[in-house]
Amino acid sequence: MKKTMTDYELIDGFVKGDQSCFETLIQRYKSKVFAYISLYIRDQALAEDLFQDTFLKVIQSVKTGKYYDNGKFISWVMRIAHNLIIDHFRRVKQLNTVSNDDYESDLFNSKKLAEANVEDHMIKRQIQKDIRKLISQLPDDQREVVILRHYSGLSFKEIADITDVSINTALGRMRYALINMRKMMEEKKISLTFN
C-alpha cells in the first residue's frame, strides 16, 4: 500500500504521526543516497555515519516545516547529503587532518555472485576496486556529477541545482569526467574481462 504512495503523501503521513511512512521513504531512496555518499567519501565508517545523518537531518527539517513539497523530495535529500559532505571536508580542512586516501577495502555489494566461482568472484572484486579507484581519481566536481547522474539517477537539472552551477557546467563536467575515465581505463588497461 505505502509503496504506491507519493513522496508527498508519505511525508504528510509521517508528519501526522505514521512512523512507517518515513521508513518507506528510506527504503525507496536509501540506495541513491548511499551510492552518492559512499562513492564520494572513501572512509566506509564515515560514509555510513553521513548516510544516517542525512536521513536524520531530513526528519528534523520535515518536522520543523522546512520542507516544502515541489515534487523533488530526492533532490532535496541529496542536497542535504551534499551539504553534510561539504561540512565534513571543511571540518577536516580546519583540523588539518589527512583524508582516507589509502582506504582500500572493498565496500561493494557485488551483483549476484552466488553462482560465480571463487576465481570469477576475485576478478570481479578486483575490477570493482579498480573502478572505485578510477572514480576517486577524478577531480571532485567531475566525480560528484558522475555519481549523482549515474549512481543516484538525478537529472542534470537537479545536479545543477544541488551543486549550484548551471546545467551547461554540469554537462561539461560530466563530459570531462567520462573522457578522463576513458583515458584512465586505457592507461591502466582496465576493461571488462567477464560478462
Partner 1 sequence: MIKPMGLTSTQLISYHDIQVDEIDIYDDAWGFYQEFSDVFSLLDQVRPEPGKQLTKRLIERVRQQN
Q: How far is the CB of 95 from partner 1 (least distance, A)?
A: 25
Q: Which of 7, 51, 82, 142 binds partner 1 (CB under 8 A)?
A: 51
Pick the piece of the chain touching partner 1 (CB under 8 A) from 67-75, 79-87, 92-100, 153-161.
153-161
- What distance in Å separates the CA atoms of residue 131 and residue 184, rounded to the nearest whole number? 10
Q: Which of 46, 50, 55, 73 binds partner 1 (CB under 8 A)?
A: 55
In the structure grid, which three cell numbers stand for residue 148, read together? 549523482
Q: Which of 82, 88, 124, 173 binds partner 1 (CB under 8 A)?
A: 124
Residue 173 burial (10 A CB sphere; 0-12, 13-18, 19+): buried
- What distance in Å separates the CA atoms of residue 104 and residue 119, rounded to the nearest whole number? 20
Assign residue 17 a region: left if phi > 0, alpha if psi is -120 to 50, beta otherwise? Answer: left
Q: How far is the CB of 89 from partner 1 (least distance, A)?
A: 19
- What distance in Å separates the CA atoms of residue 162 and residue 156, rounded to the nearest whole number? 10
Q: How far is the CB of 64 from partner 1 (least distance, A)?
A: 13
- Residue 3 DSSP symbol: G
The label of the residue with cell 500500500 reads: 1
Q: Answer for the pair 75, 148: CB distance below 8 angstroms, yes or no.
A: no
Sites for partner 1 among residues 64-103 (CB under 8 A): none
Sites for partner 1 among residues 2-41 (CB under 8 A): 19, 22-23, 26-27, 30-31, 34-35, 38-39
> Contact residues for partner 1 (CB under 8 A)?
19, 22-23, 26-27, 30-31, 34-35, 38-39, 48, 51-52, 55-56, 59, 107-109, 111, 124, 127-128, 131-132, 134-135, 146, 149-151, 155-157, 167, 171, 174-175, 178, 181-182, 185, 190-192
